[in-house]
Structure 1
């Protein structure tokens, strides 16, 4: 008898169901029988597609960051790097609101059912910040942000946006502190920086709800702080531009 082949549709369904169960009911509810019943497949599908529950949990984390990366990828670098940073902040929030269960799992807000991520797993997530770091670097070079380490600035922004989005998903932002207003206020405070003459200035990014038309391309140059064998493998599999170069930084 030939071995069973993994079905991409079943795999996607199992990842979504597992993330929802894990985030809403906890690790004790995450069983192969429960997953098989809701996905309409056999319990063997978990092993065929993921080699077991540990592989399924890892797949949830990877899928969560893959979706975040796709949202970031829709922000194409424009003439104003500070506006790019703001648009990436909104992309981060849109991804979280669209994928709340995966968001809870990928950052550990939901228990990982006894499974521990490796540093290589976390590197998979950190690599999604490359585009943000590049936009921050351009903002510093344009003297829109204070002269500082772009990676550290990106970490501060990531922490701030992640915090307010997590509060929103937990339903802690209520009237009169509505989620939209709180998020935009937080984003504005992060974008204010000294320019020539020492006067603060806010980036003129599109108003909330207006979809940016700058999409799909990623920076072709930028910091290589988080490049690892995993990151290089991911970069090697990304689509190439017309010039034959990867939209993401090339590995050395």
Structure 2
């Protein structure tokens, strides 16, 4: 792709991401993105082939954003457990920053949209490679780090998913924890640590 064309494509993806952040998944239409980019709907069709292609490209961009957030963490330290916990907390922060973006990545908020399988495989492999590497550093001998990473991720995803769901509804006075960010962060942290302990992850 020529640099100029790449720049134009990024302009549309920036616009699509702005629509996603500001107006949610339902506003992710060709017309909505074209208007946000100050362009015509024809130009969106020309570059992405339609809404499905646009959504695939945005799906890829969201994973690139997560990958960037994890890559921006401080370099690995002698304390591998602390490093892994830092990554888990960064993951929660990423999800909390934009529930709509997180839903596009891991749920089915757009009826009929199923990301291209090859694209899904590529973005997951690239993004979660960083996560698996940190799990591998603290895995006991003989442990399948990829399996342990998956089990830990499901705990992280479940915790933050429940948090996002509850945040979108009226708070209950008799819920398990107060509806505050500090309380949710503490609960998430404790849950992640409990899962890491249960998996036997530790510094060697």
Instruction: Output the CA distance in 2 between the equivalents of 1:53 and 1:93.
Output: 29
Does 1:44 find its partner at 2:49? no
Does the 8 A contact of 1:71 with 1:95 survive in 2? yes
In the alignment of these two chains, the number of paired residues is 186
8 A Cα contact 1:86 1:191, kept in partner = no
Structure exhibiting the larger radius of gyration computed from Cα positions: 1
Of 184, 188, 196, 1:179 maps to: 184
8 Å contact from structure 1 (residues 81, 138) kept in 2: yes
The Cα of 1:148 is off from its aligned counterpart by: 1.8
* Structure-2 separation of matches of 1:45 and 1:18: 19
Map of 1:224 onto structure 2: none
SS at match of 1:170: helix
How far did 1:21 drift? 4.8
Is structure 2 residue 18 aligned with structure 1 residue 16?
yes
**Structure 2: distance between partners of 1:193 and 1:77:** 23
Counterpart residue number, 1:101: 100
Question: Shift of the alpha carbon at 1:151?
Answer: 0.6
Indicate the residue corresponding to 2:197 in structure 1: 192
Q: Are the structure 2 counterparts of residues 135 and 156 from structure 1 closer, same or farther at C-alpha, using a change threshold of 3 Å? A: same
Query: What residue in structure 1 maps to residue 180 of structure 2?
Result: none
| Structure 1 pair 71–78 and aligned structure 2 pair: CA distance change class (3 A) | same
* 1:158 is the counterpart of 2:153: yes
**1:244 corresponds to:** none
Task: Return the offset for 1:92.
Answer: 0.9
Give me the whole-angstrom Cα distance separating, in 2, the residues matched to 1:91 and 1:51.
34
The counterpart of 2:72, out of the listed 71, 74, 79, is 74
Q: Distance in 2 between matches of 1:35 and 1:136?
A: 39
1:135 alignment counterpart: 134
| TM-score (norm: length of structure 1) | 0.64
